[in-house]
């Protein structure tokens, strides 16, 4: 079984690539929940949803979030009640949040709710939230400390990052099945997601990090930074804000305590030696995923690394 | 100030008529909440909504529920999660339920939530739920006892009614403003709504019934039964199930302890004397509301009665 650690869009692309090579039941995905947010009383799990929608083949790949061809009629009507909505919630997408919230309120864990959603969407790979516990990624800028999604979506990730807080990480336990998945994995894949707010969140759950350190299997990550820039999103601001270099090397430093192999872009060949000095094997690949072929090619590279 | 007691579609039509004659602030509507139901964890208030949507001019008059031109994309997606949905929730309509539920969960009363919704919809008449307390109309048939909306929508109101239960009526208190509205009314209008599950629910809140009995103002009802049949809905099955005659007279018996004048259809002229024997004045009118002119004409008759 292949276990992937996943955040948002970058992960979703590699997951699609992996899903074309592996049988669904050969893939387990452990997903960041630091982005989870309550909106209008609904529990929204952006990364769980993009992972499931992508594997279900219904994700809106152009937007990078939500469901293909979705409409926004409910959101428009909500605007009338609440003023201006900053977070986009499509009508079909809302069904997921309504269903999930109702399950959670009825006493289900996020893991259980996710399983029901995945099942209804015919996603046969196992999708696991990293934790069922309260966990929230907060970003500090000059204006103060806000939820990561507010920083990202409401504020457009424009402000310089002064700090990142993983609220709840001290108490968060791995969700049911997470440790077992890592212990039984043939290989662990760290997707090319934001190293700070997608992957470090997962790693901040202590027992997950320990399980990764102890797992005696190939542990392969793909760099989300190509030639000093993130493919998408504010990874540069976040790395810089935490004092890390905005480079494949900077990401490698975050993963060095457990990582075996780092797949970096051919454009970053010059960083190979520096990264190897951290004790990490380096492989070069074309890591930009523009189409399905790219995704499958990179997935193969990751499974072969 | 005119105070109207209202249920669903029939009431909504008369309210539109009244709104064309009165200034918005001259009309207060006390609305049945016995139909309120939790669906997917959302608090749906069918009668409050149809009243507000109608006064806002956005009601779907063809369907008799929901918002004009609404779509059902969220519901279609929900079907994927829950199987077959029996209750129709449009995408725009859902915004109302999401907003209301969130307010209620944050500690607002139904009265407060309703005020916020009405305000956002630019409804300037006061819309009051009959009670903020838990109240649920249940219908007993040979198959058992179910929520009224389940009987009505899921089962299509096909089964014979053996009994009706107003769950919560023993403890329900009038919502804030309801008694004051009745005490300060120039006239009380009982809309042509289902006499059992729309009006008797309101009357089952003891202090509302007492306030109506004590109010020394014209109290005028419009019969929802014309020539022995309800204009719409299962009032016949419900009246019969409670042992009442399916006629204007049968309805009059339900209101006789407080009603001054009963406006019945010209088709029911033959019942005039029987109803007058109950101590109720009777006026004849064309009570079928097919278009806006009908609504205004009936509203005038009610205000003049």
Q: A109: closest CA among A56, A46, A43, A50?
A: A43
Q: Is B56 on the interface with A (CB under 8 A)?
A: no
B75 close to A (CB below 8 A): yes
Q: Which residues of chain B have pLDDT under 70?
A: none
Find all residues with CB under 8 Å of A199, minimum gap 6, and list them.
A5, A7, A32, A190, A191, A193, A254, A255
User: What local confidence, expressed as pLDDT, does residue A45 receive?
Assistant: 97
B91 to A98: CB separation less than 8 angstroms, yes or no: no
- What's the rounded mean pLDDT across residues A270-279? 96
Average pLDDT over all residues of chain A: 95
**Residue A196: left (phi > 0), alpha (psi -120 to 50), or beta?**
alpha
pLDDT at B233: 85
What was the pLDDT predicted at A197? 95
pTM of the model: 0.93
Give residue A182's pLDDT band: very low, low, confident or very high (50, 70, 90).
Answer: very high
pLDDT for res B138: 96
pLDDT digit string, tens, across residues A217-234: 999 999 999 998 888 888
pLDDT at B63: 87
CB–CB of A80 and B117 under 8 A? no
Mean pLDDT of A72-98: 92
Res B232: pLDDT: 84
For residue A193, give the 3-state DSSP assignment. Answer: coil
Chain A residues in contact with B116 (beta carbon < 8 A): 81
Complex ipTM: 0.91
Whose structure tokens read 């998945």?
A: A181
**pLDDT, tens digit (0-9, with 9 covering 90-100), for B249-281:** 999 999 999 999 999 999 999 999 999 999 999
What confidence score (pLDDT) does residue B109 get? 98
Task: Tell me if B91 and A105 make a contact (CB, 8 A cut-off).
Answer: no
Report chain A residues whose CB lies below 8 A from the CB of B80. Answer: 95, 120-121
The sign one gets for the Cα dihedral A34, A37, A43, A45 is: negative
Q: Which of B97, B91, B111, B70 is nearest to A102 (CA)?
A: B97
Does any CB of chain B come closer than 8 Å to the CB of residue A56? Answer: no
Q: What is the model's pLDDT at position A62? A: 87
For the cut 90, the answer to whether the pLDDT of residue A83 exceeds it is no
Answer yes or no: is pLDDT of A85 > 90. Answer: no
Question: What are B298's two structure tokens?
Answer: 């009936």
Which residue do the tokens 């105070």 mark? B3
Mean pLDDT, range A292-303, rounded to an integer: 97
Best CA proximity match to B261, nearest among B245, B277, B279: B279
Q: Which residues of B168-183 are buried (b: 16+ CB within 10 A; e: fewer)?
A: bbeebebbbebbebbe
CB B139 within 8 A of CB B146: yes
Is B81 in Cβ contact with A91 (below 8 Å)? Answer: no
pLDDT in tens, B72-105: 999 999 999 988 778 889 999 999 999 999 999 9
3-state class of B266 per DSSP?
helix
């Amino acid at each position: 079984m292949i276990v992937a650690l996943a955040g948002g869009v970058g992960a979703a692309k590699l997951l699609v690539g992996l899903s074309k090579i592996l049988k669904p039941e050969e893939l387990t995905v452990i997903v960041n929940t630091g982005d989870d947010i309550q909106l209008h009383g609904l529990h929204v799990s952006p990364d769980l949803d993009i992972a499931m929608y992508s594997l279900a083949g219904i994700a809106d790949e152009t937007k990078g979030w939500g469901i293909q061809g979705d409409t926004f009629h409910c959101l428009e009507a909500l605007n009338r009640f609440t003023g201006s909505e900053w977070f986009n919630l499509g009508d079909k997408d809302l069904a997921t949040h309504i269903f999930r919230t109702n399950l959670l309120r009825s006493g289900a864990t996020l893991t259980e709710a996710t399983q029901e959603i995945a099942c209804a969407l015919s996603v046969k790979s196992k999708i696991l939230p990293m934790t069922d516990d309260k966990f929230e990624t907060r970003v500090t800028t000059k204006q103060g400390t806000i939820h990561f999604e507010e920083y990202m979506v409401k504020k457009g990730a424009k402000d310089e990052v002064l700090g990142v807080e993983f609220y709840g990480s001290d108490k968060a336990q791995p969700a049911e099945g997470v440790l077992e998945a890592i212990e039984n994995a043939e290989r662990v894949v760290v997707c090319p997601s934001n190293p700070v707010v997608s992957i470090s969140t997962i790693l901040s759950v202590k027992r997950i990090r320990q399980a990764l350190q102890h797992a005696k299997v190939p542990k392969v990550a793909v760099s989300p930074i190509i030639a000093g820039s993130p493919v998408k999103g504010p990874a540069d601001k976040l790395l810089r804000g935490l004092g890390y270099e905005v480079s494949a090397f900077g990401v490698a430093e975050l993963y060095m305590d457990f990582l075996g192999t780092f797949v970096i872009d051919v454009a970053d060949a010059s960083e190979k030696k520096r990264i190897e000095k951290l004790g990490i094997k380096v492989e070069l690949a074309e890591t930009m995923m523009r189409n399905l072929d790219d995704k499958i090619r990179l997935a193969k590279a990751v499974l072969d690394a």
